Chain A
């Protein structure tokens, strides 16, 4: 249903996922499949607090980063905070935990193993495809799904408005300098101004959507969200991976359960 008339890498064109080589392999899966897979792995890892169980999952998922189509900047922006969270949770456990260095390592690895599949699912899914997939495959109601999708389009607009509001405060002679109280007051003033602007913008967009018959009855779908055998395989692979991870850890005698 869609023509892709330009090559990947042209920033003006938003390509359909699923074409463009191995680097974009993950983009070919149905977003719903990726979300379910990430959810299964995350929930499956909650009971195990040792480093080995999480480590096996992490080791299996980490190579997929290469096929997520994410560039270095995206990986840095998203990866560094999580790496930092993993390390700090490990450090806190090391300093104050009762499980010793091994338990601390387990906490760090577990957090990363739970977070990474979700990050990959988000990074490798186009917002429009995701909304289509949630509506058509997971039967999520149309109104919130399309509403959130439309709101996503406003984020860059909001960033621009925030910059303008900041400049406007300086134009009125408002500047906090080094006073933390003034800084806080000024920040909330700007936040309020942004809120007012974003409500206005949101209302205008909602009106425009209504003018285009949004919510007048059942919608048809211009794009099909396809569920391929590969999607089923991806979801099925997750319990297998979890079982393998638990088996390895139990075999090595390192398996530690949360309520064990």
Chain B
């Protein structure tokens, strides 16, 4: 019986052995290898942290170990060399290796929590009573706080990711692959997942390969660190302390977040200035949801008062889903509050004294630049160059002048070699730089008075992080207002002058801006 065979083989035991020999991978349609010449062997039960600069093919390696890459697989491309899990090609073991990726939203399959955890065991042909035994055990292991029938749509990000991990555990994998499992979570959710992982790793014998940018927070969970190079193989391998002592400086130089090697940008002090944008008693409710099981509309923000000043960086903090992004769209004049208004003040009111939500889009874009969380959402043309020419041409700048300015922007943001590429084909870090550039591209004389950014440093390596923060620091020094929603403690420390905490529908100023925010929301 093939089904019982698969079920039996997936029933646990000691960890799996991983062997790679001269392994390489090239995504279809690319000229360059993502990784090449990788020689690595991981013993059963080892816990490995996989590091590398942004774009070094770490996720690709995890996907390959999970058996998801290959000519007929979910991710297509060309493979060379050998990749074995327990002596077998990984593609033949798909489903017996557990993979947890960044975004829980796209990893949940079913509408009810219990059904979702049962999905993996069902696919393995596990017998019904055993499925539910495993579901209950897995929900217990991740300390899932609700019953089997709880709606997966009604969970917070951290709870969703816990459910994803439970769904993986229920398959009893002997090799567990975690691809930045806390990247999309707020500090409280990330803390929760790290707690679950620590308890889990103490209890299981499974082999672990973990990819995580925030090295300092996971280094205690692993006993080995492996560093890979973009387009190359393993460049460092060993115990965490030894690897960081020997290669720490070189790794930091390549953009890897190494403990103690965080970037330290020297920023000009904030000049401060008059209030430019003020939110007065704003009320926002959720838009009507689609579907039969739609939740009733609820209040996201109420009685919100907030002010944004020139020459100042204002940071919005608070848990995911509390309304930070909603408040940003209000302050940027993109959305209209249900009650109350967002008004221009001081120099900004000279352009148009009406509430920002009533400004024509063209005028708004000239005065307030917005950078969205997903950069793709805001691209409107087919090449990087056209994306940058778009705003100045619409603002009435001459063609020659525009081209000169765009060339300068391309150089400054290191996008020149990609000028003719389609914006969607850029890497995550490049897309982010381009989206910031488009918001600034109206020209030196017309750059917007305020720049509004949603999680600007998400997914950046140390180099691109420092470039971005220095750029924002320059803009602040020129007297522009910066408004950003962020969880990034380092960004808050370096750039935030004023902090507003968004939670439970309210916006409150954080009393001690130099305090570090704790996961529970207080300051210390």
Q: Do A and B come from one complex?
A: yes
A99-129 contacts to B, CB under 8 A, are 123, 126-128
Contact B153 A212 (CB under 8 A): no
A185-228 contacts to B, CB under 8 A, are 189, 193, 196-197, 200-201, 203-224
Residues of B within 8 A of A16 (CB): 149
Residues of B within 8 A of A210 (CB): 68, 73-74, 94
A248, B127: Cα distance in complex, Å? 52
Nearest first, the 6 closest Cβ-Cβ pairs linking A and B are: A213-B95, A173-B365, A175-B361, A204-B106, A222-B118, A213-B123
Contact B95 A222 (CB under 8 A): no
Contact with A along B287-305 (1 / 0, CB 8 A): 1011111111000000000
Contact B119 A212 (CB under 8 A): yes
Specify which of B95, B114, B151 is in contact with A12 (CB 8 Å cutoff): B151
B107-151 contacts to A, CB under 8 A, are 107-112, 114-115, 118-128, 131-132, 135, 146-151
In the assembled complex, the CB of B76 is this many whole angstroms from the nearest CB of chain A, namely: 11
Contact with B along A214-252 (1 / 0, CB 8 A): 111111111110000000000000000000000000000
Contact A155 B291 (CB under 8 A): yes
In the assembled complex, the CB of A206 is this many whole angstroms from the nearest CB of chain B, namely: 6
In the assembled complex, the CB of B125 is this many whole angstroms from the nearest CB of chain A, namely: 5
Contact A193 B95 (CB under 8 A): no
In the assembled complex, the CB of A96 is this many whole angstroms from the nearest CB of chain B, namely: 36
- Asked whether any CB of chain B lies closer than 8 Å to the CB of A14, the reply is yes
Residues of B within 8 A of A126 (CB): 111
Residues of B within 8 A of A218 (CB): 2-3, 125
Q: Can you give 18 contacting A-B residue pairs, CB < 8 Å?
A: A12-B146, A14-B150, A128-B110, A153-B108, A157-B105, A161-B377, A167-B334, A170-B361, A171-B439, A173-B365, A173-B391, A175-B361, A204-B101, A213-B124, A214-B95, A220-B122, A220-B128, A222-B115
- Asked whether any CB of chain B lies closer than 8 Å to the CB of A156, the reply is yes
Contact A155 B290 (CB under 8 A): yes
Contact B68 A164 (CB under 8 A): no
Specify which of A152, A172, A213 is in contact with B96 (CB 8 Å cutoff): A213
Residue of B nearest to A214 (CB): B123
4 more CB-based (< 8 A) A-B contacts, given A205-B106, A222-B132: A16-B149, A171-B332, A171-B370, A220-B127
- Asked whether any CB of chain B lies closer than 8 Å to the CB of A168, the reply is yes
- Asked whether any CB of chain A lies closer than 8 Å to the CB of B405, the reply is no
Contact B151 A13 (CB under 8 A): yes
- Asked whether any CB of chain A lies closer than 8 Å to the CB of B372, the reply is yes
Contact B150 A128 (CB under 8 A): no
Specify which of B7, B128, B146 is in contact with A221 (CB 8 Å cutoff): B128
Residues of A within 8 A of B114 (CB): 2
Contact B168 A212 (CB under 8 A): yes
**Given known contacts A13-B147, A173-B361, A212-B171, is B111 in contact with A128 (CB within 8 Å)?**
yes
Residue tally, chain B, CB below 8 Å to A: 90
- Asked whether any CB of chain B lies closer than 8 Å to the CB of A150, the reply is yes
Contact B123 A173 (CB under 8 A): no
B368-382 contacts to A, CB under 8 A, are 368-370, 372, 374, 376-380
Contact A3 B152 (CB under 8 A): no
Residue tally, chain A, CB below 8 Å to B: 69
Contact B293 A168 (CB under 8 A): no
Contact A222 B289 (CB under 8 A): no
Residues of A within 8 A of B118 (CB): 222-223
Of A11, A155, A168, A206, which is in contact with the most chain B CB atoms at under 10 Å from its CB?
A168
A175, B357: Cα distance in complex, Å? 13
Residue of A nearest to B1 (CB): A218
Contact A217 B6 (CB under 8 A): yes
- Asked whether any CB of chain A lies closer than 8 Å to the CB of B458, the reply is no
Contact A156 B287 (CB under 8 A): no
Contact B68 A220 (CB under 8 A): no
Specify which of A164, A189, A200, A212 is in contact with B123 (CB 8 Å cutoff): A212
A210, B73: Cα distance in complex, Å? 9
- Asked whether any CB of chain A lies closer than 8 Å to the CB of B403, the reply is no
A116, B497: Cα distance in complex, Å? 60
Contact B378 A221 (CB under 8 A): no
Contact B125 A14 (CB under 8 A): no
Residue of B nearest to A208 (CB): B107
A12, B109: Cα distance in complex, Å? 17
B45-87 contacts to A, CB under 8 A, are 63, 66, 68, 73-75
Residue of A nearest to B167 (CB): A212
Contact B112 A128 (CB under 8 A): yes
**Given known contacts A208-B101, A213-B96, is B149 in contact with A163 (CB within 8 Å)?**
no
In the assembled complex, the CB of A191 is this many whole angstroms from the nearest CB of chain B, namely: 13
Specify which of B289, B361, B364, B377 is in contact with A159 (CB 8 Å cutoff): B289
Contact A219 B122 (CB under 8 A): yes
Residues of B within 8 A of A153 (CB): 108-111, 152-153
A128, B116: Cα distance in complex, Å? 11
- Asked whether any CB of chain B lies closer than 8 Å to the CB of A184, the reply is no
A216, B66: Cα distance in complex, Å? 13
Contact A12 B154 (CB under 8 A): yes
Specify which of A2, A165, A214, A220 is in contact with B3 (CB 8 Å cutoff): A220
- Asked whether any CB of chain B lies closer than 8 Å to the CB of A74, the reply is yes
Residues of A within 8 A of B366 (CB): 173
- Asked whether any CB of chain B lies closer than 8 Å to the CB of A88, the reply is no
Specify which of A13, A207, A209 is in contact with B150 (CB 8 Å cutoff): A13
Contact with A along B456-494 (1 / 0, CB 8 A): 000000000000000000000000000000000000000
Residue of A nearest to B357 (CB): A170
Contact with A along B1-14 (1 / 0, CB 8 A): 01100110010000
In the assembled complex, the CB of B257 is this many whole angstroms from the nearest CB of chain A, namely: 24
A63-85 contacts to B, CB under 8 A, are 70, 74
A214, B154: Cα distance in complex, Å? 25
A215, B91: Cα distance in complex, Å? 13
Contact B335 A175 (CB under 8 A): no
Contact A222 B120 (CB under 8 A): no
Residues of A within 8 A of B107 (CB): 204-205, 208
Specify which of A123, A173, A212, A215 is in contact with B120 (CB 8 Å cutoff): A212
Residues of A within 8 A of B312 (CB): none
- Asked whether any CB of chain B lies closer than 8 Å to the CB of A139, the reply is no
